């Protein structure tokens, strides 16, 4: 069993709907050419005031939530911009899982590709987990990915759906590009057929620009 | 049972089925910018993989580029990190033989403005880009959607994407849009109705007489912002408007008959259908920090909901925006006007602004800026006398780029500044920390620039 199969840690409540990736990773942290240095940027305006001082009342700055590994968020978490920096940053800040009623779609796939675990649960369950996480005495959660359940410190279990593919991606970690390239012959065969059938879809940008310049 | 347009495009681009939910989807075109591609190129280098189809890639520097009104061949990125990112992009594109619209290219512009205007977007295509507003291309009957950087790398290496097939939503809008309203008002109206996640998990196909009547560029605005309802894509079946737009750019005669097949069959079934009447649309303005927090210009900001999370969200938004529940939006003083972005910086948008401001003056309290969507849009606006009308009215006439839509360059608002903006996102901090964004149409933003406050453009039009 992989080390990714279960996850236990402090859960921090962040009960806001539509928390977009601009807020999760603001623009000033997007200038890198690698993935490093993004922990500082996570939820920056919520964590730090205009002078750059930590806001003491923000959940992730409170001592009871030091080392939090799980966020309990609102609906449509990660909506907006496609920036994968939001996922990289959350992971660099120590977050391994986010539980919410729903997730922005591009963020959802970005998370999968980086093994950031996203768990969608009914709003009422998320509200219950959020309430438990709001109390430092009960803010520990265990997520059993293999058996697809979240367990709270009072022994309650909540089952969650996790389709086969994201589950495998999370537990095993898949070489997506390698797997697709193993089917290179199929891609080549498709391409020939596709371009014959739909010739206008065949793009050759350098040739087009040369023609337009002529 | 017939097929939807969406399924036809997916089926025609399915290389193979990965499992019950996922297909390997072929990308006819992949567009990249400087900020969501660097780690993808680094990943390829690490795996020692080539770019599979360099000729099917397009690069453009748009997010970090400054828009100061210097000559094109003098354009320079002054901020160190941004300059490094752009230089890295130039190197990556050169190394892999990818055509790049670089900083000093006359055709440089916002990716979603450049690609259609040079004839790269054609009906039935699949177009991918590491940018959420790739949904724009549905306006021309092409399936476009945003992807993350890991997926950018996957597309570079394989020209395919492992893709979860979405559900089908149809939005039918019949009737004529009233005078003074545009497809921007329509899309804000729709998002307000269905919510910021109302189309999450769906690809939306628009239909109805109001959609038929929209120009290709107006359709781009509509499809562009459909992602703000959470949609995975937006589509409009190709018609004469589409054909005319594409035919002005590339030779199409041999193909047009085939394009007509890219339409939903009469008996196609949709998972959900919404119907709206265009006559209900008024000039719309956002009051909050999510694009679904929008109201008609003559309406009042809603009272707070009872449900705790929704209530917390709305009161947080109002607090950020410096507004109160039940307050009117008409008459609200602004500091800044921004005309630009992949949503509303095409030539028709600039014409709409010029029609309102020609011969008049921007209010002295307002800084107003026009950032055309591309070098080609800018040149056309100069030829048509739009640029001079805007400059005479007191607008700054800038070079193209994403600019203040997301403020990754030096076009950034100060805390507390209130901006009438033709962009797509009113998120907290989007245009600068503490900055207050009100999304609206170009005509509404133009009227706001003149008045120094948010006003009803329909009243302005009485004088035009």
Q: Which residues of A touch B157 (CB under 8 A)?
A: 177, 180-181
What is the C-alpha to C-alpha distance for residues A104 and A102, in angstroms, rounded to an integer?
7
Residue A183's φ and ψ, nearest 5 degrees, are -105, 30
Compute the nearest-CA separation of A108 from chain B (Å): 10
What is the C-alpha to C-alpha distance for residues B166 and B163, in angstroms, rounded to an integer?
9
Nearest CA in chain A to B145: A106
Nearest CA in chain A to B163: A109
Pairing state between β B396-397 and A6-14: unpaired
Task: Determine whether the interchain pair A206/B157 forms a contact, defined as Cβ–Cβ distance below 8 Å.
Answer: no
- Give the DSSP per-residue string, B164-220: E--EEEEEEEESPPPTT--HHHHHHHHHHHH-TTTTTTEEEEEESHHHHTS-HHHHH
Indicate whether B1 belongs to any domain: no
Residue B121's φ and ψ, nearest 5 degrees, are -105, 120
Residue B445 in tokens: 């933003």
C-beta of residue B168 within 8 angstroms of C-beta of residue B7 = yes
C-beta of residue A148 within 8 angstroms of C-beta of residue A155 = no
Q: Which residues of A touch B430 (CB under 8 A)?
A: 22
Nearest by CB to B132, from A106, A183, A201: name it: A106
What is the C-alpha to C-alpha distance for residues A209 and A205, in angstroms, rounded to an integer?
6
Q: How far is the CA of B256 from the CAs of B6, B240, B251, in angstroms? A: 19, 10, 10
What is the C-alpha to C-alpha distance for residues A87 and A110, in angstroms, rounded to an integer?
7
Q: What is the pLDDT of residue A1?
A: 42
Which among B255, B25, B44, B222 is positioned nearest to B137, based on CA atoms?
A: B222
Nearest CA in chain B to A32: B85
pLDDT digits 0-9 by tens, B248-283: 999 988 889 999 999 999 999 999 999 999 999 999
Which among B323, B301, B295, B339 is positioned nearest to B447, based on CA atoms?
A: B339
Task: State the distance between the two ends of chain A, measured CA to CA, in whole angstroms.
Answer: 62
Task: Determine whether the interchain pair A16/B309 forms a contact, defined as Cβ–Cβ distance below 8 Å.
Answer: yes
Please name the residues between 106 and 165 in chain A that touch chain B, using a CB distance below 8 Å. Answer: 106, 109-110, 113-114, 127, 163-165
* Domain parsing of chain A, residue ranges: 6-172, 179-213
Nearest CA in chain A to B43: A34
Locate tokens 């009422």: which residue?
A: A124
Q: What is the pLDDT of residue B307?
A: 83
What is the C-alpha to C-alpha distance for residues B63 and B117, in angstroms, rounded to an integer?
18
What is the C-alpha to C-alpha distance for residues B420 and A57, in angstroms, rounded to an integer?
32
Task: Determine whether the interchain pair A180/B316 forms a contact, defined as Cβ–Cβ distance below 8 Å.
Answer: no
Pair (B393, B266) in one structural domain: no
Q: Mean pLDDT throughout B70-87?
A: 97
CB atoms under 10 Å from CB of B247, counted, come to 15
The CATH number for B434's domain is: 3.30.499.10
Indicate whether B194 belongs to any domain: yes
Pair (B330, B401) in one structural domain: yes
> In chain B, how many H helices and how many E strands?
16, 19
Q: What is the pLDDT of residue B425?
A: 98
Beta bridge partners, B284, equal B296
pLDDT at B7 over 80: yes
Task: Determine whether the interchain pair A79/B99 forms a contact, defined as Cβ–Cβ distance below 8 Å.
Answer: no
Q: Mean pLDDT throughout A89-99?
A: 98
Pair (B152, B178) in one structural domain: no
Helix then strand then coil, in percent of chain B rounded to 5, is 35, 20, 45
What is the C-alpha to C-alpha distance for residues B13 and B233, in angstroms, rounded to an integer?
15
pLDDT digits 0-9 by tens, B346-396: 999 999 999 999 999 999 999 999 999 999 999 999 999 999 999 999 999
Residue B112's φ and ψ, nearest 5 degrees, are -80, -5
What is the C-alpha to C-alpha distance for residues B403 and A131, in angstroms, rounded to an integer?
41
Task: Determine whether the interchain pair B36/A83 forms a contact, defined as Cβ–Cβ distance below 8 Å.
Answer: yes
Its CATH class, for the domain covering A6-172, is: alpha beta
Task: Determine whether the interchain pair A75/B309 forms a contact, defined as Cβ–Cβ distance below 8 Å.
Answer: yes
Pair (B181, B145) in one structural domain: no
Task: Determine whether the interchain pair A191/B81 forms a contact, defined as Cβ–Cβ distance below 8 Å.
Answer: no
Task: Determine whether the interchain pair B36/A23 forms a contact, defined as Cβ–Cβ distance below 8 Å.
Answer: no
C-beta of residue B278 within 8 angstroms of C-beta of residue B177 = yes
Q: How far is the CA of B305 from the CAs of A76, B36, B207, B219, B291, in angstroms? A: 18, 37, 33, 33, 17
What is the C-alpha to C-alpha distance for residues B37 and A178, in angstroms, rounded to an integer?
19
Pairing state between β B29-32 and B126-129: parallel
Q: What is the pLDDT of residue A3?
A: 63
Q: Which residues of B touch A197 (CB under 8 A)?
A: 12
Q: Which residues of A touch B15 (CB under 8 A)?
A: 183, 186-187, 190
| Least trusted range by pLDDT, from B158-172, B244-258, B424-438 | B244-258
Nearest by CB to A82, from B18, B79, B146: name it: B146
What is the C-alpha to C-alpha distance for residues B226 and B145, in angstroms, rounded to an integer?
11
Task: Determine whether the interchain pair B132/A82 forms a contact, defined as Cβ–Cβ distance below 8 Å.
Answer: yes
Contacts of A191 (CB under 8 A, 6+ apart): B26, B159
Q: Which residues of A touch B316 (CB under 8 A)?
A: 16
The CATH number for B186's domain is: 3.40.1060.10
Q: What is the pLDDT of residue B290?
A: 97
A168 touches chain B (CB under 8 A): no
C-beta of residue B131 within 8 angstroms of C-beta of residue B216 = no
Residue B242's φ and ψ, nearest 5 degrees, are -65, -50
Indicate whether B364 belongs to any domain: yes
- In this structure, what DSSP letter does residue B27 have? P
Of all residues in chain A, what percent carry a pLDDT higher than 70?
99
Residue B374 in tokens: 């591309």
Sign of CA dihedral B427, B433, B436, B437: negative
Q: Which of B280, B315, B336 is the last residue of a domain?
A: B280
Sign of CA dihedral B82, B87, B88, B92: positive
Pair (B387, B252) in one structural domain: no
Beta bridge partners, A118, equal A98
Q: How far is the CA of A35 from the CAs of B15, B40, B91, B151, B155, in angstroms? A: 31, 10, 18, 15, 19
pLDDT digits 0-9 by tens, A152-174: 998 999 999 999 889 999 999 98
Pair (B399, B256) in one structural domain: no
Q: Which residues of B touch A34 (CB under 8 A)?
A: 38-39, 42
Pair (B216, B73) in one structural domain: no
Q: What is the pLDDT of residue B308?
A: 84
Contacts of B168 (CB under 8 A, 6+ apart): B4, B6, B7, B202, B203, B205, B268, B269, B270, B271, B272
Which among B448, B443, B419 is positioned nearest to B431, based on CA atoms?
A: B419
What is the C-alpha to C-alpha distance for residues B296 and B341, in angstroms, rounded to an integer?
22
C-beta of residue B28 within 8 angstroms of C-beta of residue B53 = no
Task: Determine whether the interchain pair A199/B255 forms a contact, defined as Cβ–Cβ distance below 8 Å.
Answer: yes
pLDDT at B464 over 70: no
Pair (B159, B266) in one structural domain: no
Q: What is the pLDDT of residue B462?
A: 77
Task: Determine whether the interchain pair B84/A33 forms a contact, defined as Cβ–Cβ distance below 8 Å.
Answer: yes
Residue B271 in tokens: 């998972």
Q: Which residues of B touch A177 (CB under 8 A)?
A: 47, 49, 153-154, 157-158
Task: Determine whether the interchain pair A105/B429 forms a contact, defined as Cβ–Cβ distance below 8 Å.
Answer: no
Interface size A-B, in CB pairs within 8 Å, comes to 212
Pair (B54, B183) in one structural domain: no
Compute the nearest-CA separation of B149 from chain A (Å): 6
Pair (B24, B111) in one structural domain: yes
Pair (B80, B223) in one structural domain: no
Compute the nearest-CA separation of A177 from chain B (Å): 6
Compute the nearest-CA separation of A102 from chain B (Å): 9
The count of structural domains within chain B is 3
pLDDT digits 0-9 by tens, A129-147: 999 999 999 999 999 999 9
Angle, CA B428 vertex, CA A25 and CA B346 arms, to 5°: 95
Task: Determine whether the interchain pair B309/A74 forms a contact, defined as Cβ–Cβ distance below 8 Å.
Answer: yes
Q: Mean pLDDT throughout B15-39?
A: 97
Which among B121, B318, B330 is positioned nearest to B235, based on CA atoms?
A: B121
- Give the DSSP per-residue string, A147-209: TTEEEETTS-EEE----HHHHHHHHT---HHHHHHTTHHHHHHHHHHHHHH-GGG---HHHHH
Q: Which residues of B touch A32 (CB under 8 A)?
A: 38, 81, 85
Determine the residue among B94, B162, B262, B416 to mutate to test chain A binding: the one whose Cβ has the most chain A Cβ atoms within 10 Å: B162
State the ipTM, two decimals.
Answer: 0.97
Q: Which of B214, B249, B280 is the last residue of a domain?
A: B280
Name the band, by pLDDT with cuts 50, 70 and 90, for residue B305.
confident
Q: Which residues of B touch A30 (CB under 8 A)?
A: 35, 63, 408
Pair (B117, B64) in one structural domain: yes
Q: Which residues of B touch A176 (CB under 8 A)?
A: 150, 154, 162
Range of B392's domain?
A: 286-461
C-beta of residue B218 within 8 angstroms of C-beta of residue B182 = yes
Q: Mean pLDDT throughout B154-183?
A: 98
H or E element that contains B256: helix B256-259
């Amino acid at each position: 069993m992989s080390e990714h199969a279960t996850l236990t840690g402090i859960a921090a409540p962040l009960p806001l709907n539509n928390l977009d990736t601009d807020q999760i990773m603001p623009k000033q942290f997007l200038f890198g050419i690698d993935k490093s240095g993004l922990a500082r940027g996570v939820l920056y305006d919520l964590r730090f005031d205009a002078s750059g001082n930590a806001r003491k009342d923000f959940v992730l700055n409170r001592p009871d939530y030091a080392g939090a590994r799980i966020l309990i968020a609102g609906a449509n978490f990660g909506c907006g911009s496609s920036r994968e920096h939001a996922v990289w940053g959350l992971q660099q800040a120590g977050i391994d899982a986010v539980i919410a009623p729903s997730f922005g779609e591009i963020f959802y796939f970005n998370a999968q590709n980086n093994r950031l675990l996203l768990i969608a649960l009914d709003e009422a369950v998320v509200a219950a987990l959020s309430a438990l996480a709001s109390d430092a005495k009960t803010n520990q959660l265990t997520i059993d990915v293999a058996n697809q359940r979240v367990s709270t410190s009072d022994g309650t279990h909540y089952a969650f759906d996790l389709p086969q593919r994201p589950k495998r991606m999370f537990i095993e970690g898949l070489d997506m590009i390698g797997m697709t390239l193993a089917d290179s012959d199929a891609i080549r065969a498709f391409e020939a057929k596709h371009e014959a059938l739909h010739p206008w879809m065949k793009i050759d940008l350098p040739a087009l620009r040369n023609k337009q310049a002529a | 049972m017939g097929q939807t347009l969406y399924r036809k495009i997916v089926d025609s681009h399915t290389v193979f089925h990965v499992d019950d939910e996922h297909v390997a989807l072929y990308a006819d075109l992949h567009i990249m910018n400087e900020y969501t591609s660097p780690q993808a190129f680094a990943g390829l280098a690490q795996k020692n993989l080539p770019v599979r189809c360099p000729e099917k890639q397009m690069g453009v520097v748009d997010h970090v580029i400054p828009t100061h009104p210097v000559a094109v061949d003098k354009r320079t990125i002054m901020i160190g990190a941004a300059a490094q990112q752009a230089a890295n992009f130039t190197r990556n594109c050169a190394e892999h033989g990818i055509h790049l619209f670089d900083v000093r290219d006359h055709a440089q512009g916002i990716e979603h403005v450049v690609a259609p205007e040079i004839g790269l977007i054609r009906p039935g295509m699949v177009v991918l880009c590491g940018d959420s507003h790739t949904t724009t291309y549905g306006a021309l009957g092409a399936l476009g959607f945003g992807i993350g950087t890991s997926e950018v790398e996957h597309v570079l290496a394989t020209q395919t994407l492992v893709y979860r097939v979405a559900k089908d939503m149809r939005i039918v809008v019949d009737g004529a849009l009233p005078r003074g309203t545009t497809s921007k008002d329509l899309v804000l109206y729709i998002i307000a109705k269905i919510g910021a996640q109302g189309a999450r998990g769906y690809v939306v196909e628009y239909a109805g007489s109001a959609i038929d009547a929209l120009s290709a560029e107006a359709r781009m605005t509509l499809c562009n912002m459909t992602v703000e309802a959470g949609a995975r894509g937006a589509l409009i079946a190709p018609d004469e408007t589409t054909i005319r737009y594409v035919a002005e750019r590339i030779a199409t005669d041999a193909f047009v008959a085939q394009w007509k097949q890219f339409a939903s069959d009469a008996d196609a079934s949709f998972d959900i259908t919404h119907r709206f009447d265009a006559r209900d649309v008024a000039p719309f303005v956002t009051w909050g920090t999510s694009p679904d927090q929008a109201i008609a210009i003559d309406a009042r900001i809603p009272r707070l909901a009872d449900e705790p999370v929704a209530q917390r969200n709305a009161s947080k938004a109002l607090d950020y925006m410096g507004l109160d529940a039940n307050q009117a939006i008409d008459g609200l003083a602004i500091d800044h006007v921004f005309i630009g972005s992949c949503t509303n910086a095409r030539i028709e948008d600039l014409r709409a602004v010029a029609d309102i401001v020609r011969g008049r003056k921007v209010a002295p309290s307002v800084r107003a800026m026009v950032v055309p969507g591309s070098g080609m849009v800018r040149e056309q606006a100069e030829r048509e006398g739009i640029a001079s009308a805007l400059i005479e009215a007191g607008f700054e006439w800038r070079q193209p780029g994403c600019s203040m839509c997301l403020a990754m360059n030096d076009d950034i608002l100060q805390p507390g500044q209130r901006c009438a903006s033709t962009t797509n996102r009113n998120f907290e901090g989007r245009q600068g920390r503490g900055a207050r964004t009100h999304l609206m149409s170009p005509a509404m933003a133009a009227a706001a620039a003149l008045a120094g406050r948010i006003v009803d453009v329909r009243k302005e039009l009485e004088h035009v």
